[in-house]
Structure 1
Amino acid sequence: MDLEAVRTFVAVAEAGQFQKAAADLSITQQAVSKRIAALERTLGVRLFTRAPRGAELTIDGQAFLPHASELLRVSERAVASVLPGRRPLRVDVIASRVAPSGLMRGFHRAHPEIELDVMMLFDVEAAVAAIRSGAIDASFRAVAMPGRPLPEDIESVRVLDEPLQLLTGPAHALADARSVTLAQLVGHRIWMPGIVPGTEWAAYYEDLVAEFGLTIEATGPNFGSDALLDTVADTPALATFMSEQTRLVWPAGHGLRRIPVTDPTPVYPHSLLWHRDNPHPALATLRAHLAASAAGHDAAGTWRPDWVIPH
């Protein structure tokens, strides 16, 4: 159905005259007549009858008018949904409890006037594909994994180097330490069932193990963070790594400890990815916000994999 013909029909119905509708639409009266005639042919009914005072709706025209008005409203909403600055900024934060989610909460507090759609995509390939298709505007990822360079049309910038911490139960051998070195962790079992082969975090921990001789186990089903915390709290032989800004709550009786890791401190490098031709004005605002709040990267006494994009 021709939306311009529908728009012309509504204009004539509101004006009550073909001539006035033509003036309102800035077209000729002949163009109005042609559009209405074409719409009537499409619908197979008469929409107007000529009257001394102009044009009056037929019974079919009266029935069609509310639907035509709604059709125009839907069309306007559809156009607005993709206009830069008119639709929400769509950002992938991977998961709700991790640092990127916290970064976006900070951005929302600083810029409450910007509408946001927060997405949670699992792997980097899905995120990059969504950025390239326009399904999302940006994603937080650790880039670039070995053998998986970013496409040329995808831009990235490091926004946060997040320290890892050791999480233990109260009976673990290191539970009372104020900090632990990576050397002290050699020989201890670090259980991380959420590591999925092929992901950027799997590549990160593989390099950490290779560099420092750690033992990370990813065995068993992943029942989520609550089950992980329950098991670590009850099992003196197990610990796990937890990023510093990961937000977790556990029962007071668990007695869990979050212990800083040093010499060096492993940091997880979060980068923001976006398409270089993305025109959404809020994307530039997000990048400026993250740049203003970002600390220095590759600080002395820290470690990150060699494949991480340095800037």
Structure 2
Amino acid sequence: MTDLDLATVRAFVAVTDHGQFGSAADVLGISQQAVSKRIARLESRLGIALFDRVPTGAVPTAAARRFMAHARALLALADEAVATATARRGPLRVAILGERLAEMRAMRFYLARHPEAEVEFVQSNAYVTSRDALLGGRADAAFARAQGGLRALPGHIAAVPAYLDALHLLVGKDNPLSGRSAVTLAELAGHTVWVPGAAVPSEWSDYYDCLSRFSGITVDRTPRSELFPDAGTSHGPAPIEAMLEHIAASDSLSTFNGEGFELPWHPHIRRVRIIDPTPAYPHALLWNSIDPHPGLAALIAYFRDSYNSDAASDCWIPGPDRALFMP
């Protein structure tokens, strides 16, 4: 068994993100020599080379790119463990998956109308989900599916429907579907749709499994990191921008995108509605009913009242979610 020193893992992530040992040292608050020693110690422990030194800095090796996702997950779990052990009741902590998603837009709307609310957002990612943050005690509430995923939620986790996010198809301007205002779900049977987020086992990968079985769509789960290894680093584009550029340049590639997702502008990207039925992602508000935060009552009441149930009759959602989301 190989025990990993978290300090060396943090140094590895910092060098990868910033592309230079000096920049990583500034972020970590240590010397460049200390960063180099930590990387050398990690390389020795793993028995692999992690970086190729180039004139502009350091470029992750193929082995390093494979290790990166696990390194980020390890650090996130370590941070969560510390936060859980030292937690004090303060602002309402709400876990979200990303700044661009529908739940963040909904929370901004809520906070604009409830200026007295004290809310702190807990950012999740593809490897440590919003549900994990809630179950681990790092958050008081979370936006996620109430069903699906690797395991069922325990009985003390309560839920109300928050938002049905209709899925659209994103294609490039040369894609045969680009001229369509809408396409039926039946017409997409046999098509392959790229969903890089489904590469990680989670409640959303389970959602796309269900959609694939229902519709006959093949889900391509190739992760973005395999296609754009530099995306998200100091010398590469943002992951979402790299993905859009890839789709825009193709005459066949497509991906799903939620209606509530704030998409960066690209002149060659076209959004095509999916109808009859419209697949929708069921975002629920989850919380721990054993020890609820005092600020939860107003938030629960708001989403219970504002849930867009009028859209449900035209939507497809997985069977396990229907009891909560279908009026």
Please give the range of the TM-score, normalised by the shorter of the 2 chains: 0.5 to 0.7
Aligned counterpart, 1:237: 252
Give secondary structure in 1 for the equivalent of 2:254: strand
Alpha carbons of 1:297 and 1:203: their partners in 2 closer, same or farther (altered >3 Å)? farther
AA in 2 matched with 1:233:
A
1:20-61 CA distance string (max 9 Å, x none): xxxxxxxxxxxxxxxxxxxxxxxxxxxxxxxxxxxxxxxxxx
State how many pairs are aligned.
226
Alpha-carbon separation, structure 2, partners of 1:142 and 1:248 = 22
Deviation sequence 1:142-180 (CA, Å, 0-9, x none): 121166221121111111111100111111101011111
SS of aligned partner of 1:168: strand
The equivalences for 1:1-311 within 5 A come to 82-83=88-89, 87-122=90-125, 127-145=130-148, 148-222=151-225, 223=231, 224-251=239-266, 254-296=267-309, 299-308=312-321, 310-311=323-324
Letter in 1 for 2:218: T
- Counterpart in the other structure of 1:74: none
Asked if the contact 2:149–2:203 (Cα under 8 Å) also holds between the matched residues in 1, the reply is no
Distance 2:284 2:254 in 1: 27
Q: How far is the alpha carbon of 1:196 from its aligned partner?
A: 2.6
- Tell me if the contact between 1:146 and 1:307 (Cα under 8 Å) persists in the aligned partners: no
Give TM-score scaled by structure 2 length: 0.64
TM-score, length of structure 1 as denominator length = 0.67
One-letter identity of the residue aligned with 2:249: D
- Comparing 270-279 with 114-123, greater Cα deviation is found at 114-123
How many percent identity over aligned positions? 34
SS in 2 for 1:209: helix
User: Separation in 1 of the partners of 2:321 and 2:193?
Assistant: 23
CA apart distance, 1:286:
0.6
Q: CA deviation at 1:108?
A: 1.0
Deviations 1:276-301 (A, max 9, x none): 03342211111111122112178223
CA deviation after TM superposition for structure 1 residue 96, in Å: 1.0
Letter matched to residue 269 of structure 2: L
Where does the alignment leave 5 or more consecutive residues of structure 1 unmatched?
1-80
Note the C-alpha offset of 1:268. Answer: 0.5
CA offsets 1:64-87 (integer angstroms, 9 cap, x no match):
xxxxxxxxxxxxxxxxx834xxx2
Question: 1:123: Cα distance to partner?
Answer: 5.9
Q: Which string of whole-angstrom CA distances, capped at 9 and with x for unpartnered residues, describes residues 96-139 of structure 1?
A: 11111111111111111212111122369764454345421100
One-letter code of the match for 1:184? Answer: E
What amino acid maps onto 1:245 in structure 2?
Answer: G
Task: Please state how far the C-alpha of 1:227 moved relative to its aligned partner.
Answer: 1.0
The change in CA–CA distance for 1:114 and 1:167 in structure 2 (over 3 A counts) is same
Indicate if the aligned counterparts of 1:168 and 1:256 stay in contact, CA closer than 8 A.
yes
Q: Using a 3 Å threshold, how does the CA distance of structure 1 residues 123 and 169 change in structure 2: closer, same or farther?
A: closer
Amino acid in the other structure paired with 2:251: P
Deviation at 1:244, TM superposition (A): 0.5
Q: Distance in 2 between matches of 1:126 and 1:212?
A: 26
For the structure 1 residues 155 and 220, does the alpha-carbon distance in structure 2 shift closer, same or farther, using more than 3 Å as the test?
A: closer
Change in Cα spacing, 1:278 to 1:206, as seen in structure 2 (3 Å) is same
Instruction: Look up the SS of the partner of 1:281 in the other structure.
Output: coil
Structure 2: distance between partners of 1:235 and 1:82: 50
1:201–1:296 CA distance, 2 compared to 1 (3 A) = same
Moved more, 118-127 or 153-162: 118-127
Larger Cα Rg: Structure 1 or Structure 2? 1
